[in-house]
Structure 1
Amino acid sequence: MMKLIYQFFIFFFFLRFSVIFADDYKNLIFKGCANQKSPDQTGVFSQNLKNLFTSLVSQSAKSSFTATTSGTDNNTAVNGVFQCRGDLHAAECSDCVDKIPKLFYKLCGGDGDGGNVVAARVQLAGCYIRYEVSGFRQTSGTEMLYRVCGNKKSGDPEFSGKRDTAFGMAENGVKTGGGGGGGFYAGEYESVYVLGQCEGSLGNSDCGECVKDGFDKAKSECGDSNSGQIYLHKCFVSYSYYSHGVPNISPLSGGEKRQHTQRTIALAVGGVTVLGFVIVCLLVLRSAMKKKSKYDAY
């Protein structure tokens, strides 16, 4: 019985902390690695890449977007960019970006001492870093890199209209700064939650065009799916349909959303823990009564 009680408390202890401290903004979404590797006999390119990562991680504690170059020689200089999702706090942004450099070596090969690919991008849910050697072929800002479409259909005959209206709001929002600041928008219309963000190098007009292209691709690629994420080279968009209405996420800021979620989780887990404690007490009481009955029989 005591072993069962012990296991019971251990289970709830780890359940509580595993739920509350889950960091979904650091989940890997996709990686893109160039096929070509740098012939880096001198190790200059690898050192420039290390310096670039160090600089980007350092800047992520102060800003949500930075573009910089490491090195001066045209053959070995490395251009790099990091960006965090517009609703992340500074500490979360830095935490997210800090995870990426090691992933480059793990996902794209190389160990920082040679043989690194000449261009790559690692995208987490809350941030990304991309780099390319100086002079590397540039791709279109609206080139699609990755997409995810939900497996379920909305089932709402008015879904397309609601989604299109939400898309229009986001397209206008990234241009005007509504919903989170220039280049970022998060909001809802009816039962559709929508988000759009552009790389910080884009002006408002170009950002609006990129996001519009992203939403056009979302409609063509995902059809009637109830959710979708489209990652283009210079922007990304996402949408989610909630049949019973959008939960308490879009009216709140990023920090307020997480605090609200954590409070909800804490209350739920706390309630379950209390229930578990009551059950354990009843089991202990039952065990004690059985022992008393056993002794009374003598």
Structure 2
Amino acid sequence: MGFGFSSKPFFIFLWFLVLFANLKPSPLVESASDYTTLVYKGCAKQAFTDPAGIYSQALSALFQTLLSQSMKVRFFKTTTGTGQTTITGLFQCRGDLSNSDCYNCVSQLPTLTDKLCGKTVASRIQLYGCYMLYEVAGFAQISGMEMLFKTCGATNVAGTGFEERRDTAFSVLENGVVSSHGFYTTNYQSVYLLGQCEGDVGDSDCGDCIKSAVQRAQVECGSSISGQIYLHKCFISYSYYPNGVPRRSSSSSYSHPSSSSSGTGQNTGKTVAIILGGAAGVGFLVILLMFARGVMKKHDGMHF
């Protein structure tokens, strides 16, 4: 019997093997950590006149100093320039960010400041994981209790006992931020909370600021399932999870991480994707082997 006819199915089988052996799986695409997502911008209406470029040089030097410090600490405040060209600025990272995440977050801010505000006498850019602000000498100061931004969840859970549970959780947050000296996260009866004060605010003033933010949240957000309140010197965030607070990486989410998370869940998504990819590969190999077996049975007695 001629070899050509019997080898055709086997040739097709080999062709499939060669084709899929040379296909490389697409790399796993991990979504960018949302700590670099923009929350809000605050830009002064007045631009500084700078024909000699003095303000621009001072501002550039300020940004460089803040960026270099963000590799070491989570809060830093400094001043550059002299006289009327003096510029005071600071950055702060969320207390649960690593040094590398803090640097990655802060490194976004100078470009965003220029893009979103331009050359104004003052600006503040808030990301989920960090913020930066600067003020030219003489800029009018505002109260530390001034509300800068709020956001409330669209879902309301009125009449379910949620408000009582949330308010008790708020009390835990108020005490925790003071005892932890400015940053605190906790889970309380399926409510995840986070609070932070600016790094140069004392414990007593921090407690007052957090308390004010809590009162704003109660009034502004009502029975919303989640909310974020940003005051000038502090901010709070809360989210209610009826089925329990999910475990996830603290640096990958702003309002939803679990304070009890040890970080072991960071690579869960990648691991699952790898397992599924491996399973798909094995499944395809089984299909090919079944195809080959069928060919062999159909042409029983033909030897290659």
Report matched runs for 1:52-131 at 5 Å: 52-73=62-83, 75-109=84-118, 116-131=119-134
Question: Aligned-pair distance for 1:266?
Answer: 3.4
Normalized against structure 1, the TM-score is what?
0.85
Q: Aligned residue for 1:47?
A: 57
Percent identity at matched positions? 46
Question: Aligned-pair distance for 1:154?
Answer: 3.4
| Contact 1:67 1:82 (8 Å CA) reproduced | yes
Query: C-alpha deviations, 1:163-209, integer Å up to 9, x for none?
Result: 111111111111111xxxx1001001101010100001211111111
Question: Tell me, what secondary structure is at the counterpart of 1:260?
Answer: coil
Structure with the largest fraction of helix: 1
Out of 146, 149, 153, the residue aligned to residue 152 of structure 2 is 149
Normalized against structure 2, the TM-score is what?
0.83
Instruction: Classify 1:291/1:129 alpha carbon distance in 2 versus 1 (closer, same or farther; 3 Å).
Output: farther
Question: Aligned-pair distance for 1:28?
Answer: 1.4
Q: Aligned residue for 1:136?
A: 139
Unpaired segments ≥5 residues, structure 1? 110-115
More displaced, 91-100 or 77-86? 91-100
More displaced, 149-158 or 133-142? 149-158
Instruction: Classify 1:132/1:260 alpha carbon distance in 2 versus 1 (closer, same or farther; 3 Å).
Output: same
Question: Tell me, what secondary structure is at the counterpart of 2:154?
Answer: coil
Instruction: Name the CA distance, whole Å, in 1 between partners of 2:30 and 2:176.
Output: 36
Q: Aligned residue for 1:250?
A: 258
Out of 175, 179, 190, the residue aligned to residue 176 of structure 1 is 179
Question: Tell me, what secondary structure is at the counterpart of 1:35?
Answer: coil
Question: Aligned-pair distance for 1:252?
Answer: 3.0
Question: Tell me, what secondary structure is at the counterpart of 1:209?
Answer: helix
Q: Aligned residue for 2:189?
A: 190
Question: Aligned-pair distance for 1:223?
Answer: 1.3
For the pair shown, which has the larger CA radius of gyration, 1 or 2?
A: 2
| Contact 2:185 2:259 (8 Å CA) reproduced | no
Structure 1 residue identity aligned to 2:35:
Y
Out of 8, 33, 53, the residue aligned to residue 23 of structure 1 is 33
Question: Aligned-pair distance for 1:65?
Answer: 0.6
Matched, 1:209 2:205: no
Structure 2 residue identity aligned to 1:213:
S
Alpha-carbon RMSD: 2.5
Question: Tell me, what secondary structure is at the counterpart of 1:39?
Answer: coil
| Contact 1:154 1:241 (8 Å CA) reproduced | no
Instruction: Classify 1:158/1:77 alpha carbon distance in 2 versus 1 (closer, same or farther; 3 Å).
Output: same
Instruction: Name the CA distance, whole Å, in 1 between partners of 2:93 and 2:65.
Output: 15
Unpaired segments ≥5 residues, structure 2? 1-15, 248-256
| Contact 1:121 1:130 (8 Å CA) reproduced | yes
Question: Tell me, what secondary structure is at the counterpart of 1:45?
Answer: helix
Instruction: Name the CA distance, whole Å, in 2 between partners of 1:7 and 1:27.
Output: 38
Structure 1 residue identity aligned to 2:233:
K
Q: Aligned residue for 1:33?
A: 43
Q: Aligned residue for 1:262?
A: 266
Question: Tell me, what secondary structure is at the counterpart of 2:223?
Answer: coil
Question: Aligned-pair distance for 1:9?
Answer: 5.4
Instruction: Name the CA distance, whole Å, in 2 between partners of 1:156 and 1:285.
Output: 60
